[in-house]
Chains A and B, each alone.
Chain A
């Protein structure tokens, strides 16, 4: 028979483990998940020196602003199907400078979280790799109950320092910047995604990269100095 003393000691250890483990789990739940609020008050600091996420040469003759939502299927299709051709045909050739602006639609519960994850990647100069990965994985994370763990997995895959990434996500420090981006879209007349601002005109969709190339060529020709 086991001694009463040894059994009592065992029960004490079991109790400590149960309380300690339960406490850790409770702390994890209390710590919660990153939450990116909508309709926050935008401060000057949110937009100071930040005009969007750029790709391409600063002196490119045409700037195209894309207003998009990470959870919008049309934006995903554009980013995965058309955008690579646009990068190759127009951005890498120096004809276009691309400007990405977040336009998170209220119908998509994880758009702001995705946009914030990408903003945190931008802190570590890895914006575009994470941007592409979030769109590629949209079919997976959009159906999760809470996708912040998936975004964190993407963050690791693109080589982010996860300690800094976690701190950035928990702080929600770019919520104002995302809201400012949305507000800008509303001001210029965006009412769906993806929408493209080219010159002073809005385009609700781009059929393919060739159509965009023709448009860019015509704009470039129109603005080129005559001999």
Chain B
């Protein structure tokens, strides 16, 4: 269950980061705590939207789904079921690809690095790794002979 617990904690952390970045973009907070200062450049660039939706909103929805799946998977009736893990694998796998695309944009198009985006990318990679480990845990084993 430690994998699902880890996923839940990281999902909540990702949600908080997404809300923080969204609040900055929409003027609810004046500045981001960002050592390199690239956060404002990234968040206010045209690439902070994907298909017309704020990237922060997409991140929030993905992390909320991961948190929900992890909480479901922690309930006694679901602890040995694979569905939450498979869904988490799917979401976090997509998240890893999307984070890779965003990191590429930061490095080669926007030329600014947002530490909060890097933190989010690390979180989604770790969640994906946890989902893989959980998937392995639940894989059917050959009976002992």
Task: Say if A and B assemble together.
Answer: yes
Do residues B29 and A28 form an inter-chain contact, with CB atoms below 8 A? Answer: yes
Report Cα–Cα, A2/B79, bound state, in Å.
8
Report Cα–Cα, A10/B8, bound state, in Å.
10
Chain A CB within 8 A of B57 CB: no
Chain A residues with a Cβ under 8 A of chain B: 1-2, 6-7, 10, 13-14, 17-18, 21-22, 24-25, 28-29, 31-34, 140, 144-146, 148-150, 152-153, 156-157, 162, 166, 169-170
Q: Which of A6, A25, A31, A149 contacts B32 (CB 8 A)?
A: A149
Question: How extensive is the interface on chain B, given as a class?
Answer: 20 to 34
List the A side residues contacting B37 at CB < 8 Å: 152-153, 156-157, 162
Q: Given the interface contacts A1-B76, A140-B44, does A29 sit within 8 Å of B23 by beta carbon?
A: yes
Do residues B30 and A144 form an inter-chain contact, with CB atoms below 8 A? Answer: no
Q: Given the interface contacts A2-B1, A162-B37, does A146 sit within 8 Å of B30 by beta carbon?
A: yes
List the B side residues contacting A157 at CB < 8 Å: 37
Given contacts A28-B20, A166-B31, 10 further A-B contacts (CB under 8 A): A2-B74, A7-B74, A10-B5, A10-B8, A10-B74, A29-B28, A33-B28, A146-B30, A150-B40, A150-B44
B18-33 with Cβ < 8 A to chain A: 19-20, 23-24, 26-32
Do residues A145 and B29 form an inter-chain contact, with CB atoms below 8 A? Answer: no
Report Cα–Cα, A34/B27, bound state, in Å.
11
